[in-house]
Amino acid sequence: MGFKHWFEGLIMIGVFAVIIAIPCFVVAFWGSKMINDLGNYPTKSAKIQVSVWWIYLVEFFFLFLLIGYGAFLYNSNIKG
């Protein structure tokens, strides 16, 4: 008796990895840009720190995408 659904399992792992990896790269890029701007323009600290709301949007979007993916997997495995 072996596992028969290797392809489906790899697709599930790939989709999950993409949903996790994209916000990590986006936050790392924008975070490093923000820290660089804070170092270059210390008097604009408040303005730079307020501009971080884009990171929150990305995180919430991908959180809801991950929740939706989990709900899809849960509902697709329920047999009538």
For the stretch 54-73, pLDDT in tens is 888 988 999 999 999 888 88
Distances (CA, A) of 29 to 24, 33, 36, 54, 72: 9, 6, 11, 12, 30
Q: Model's pTM, two decimal places?
A: 0.71
Q: Which residue has the tokens 């720190």?
A: 49
Averaged pLDDT for residues 26-33: 90
- pLDDT grade for 53, boundaries at 50, 70 and 90: confident
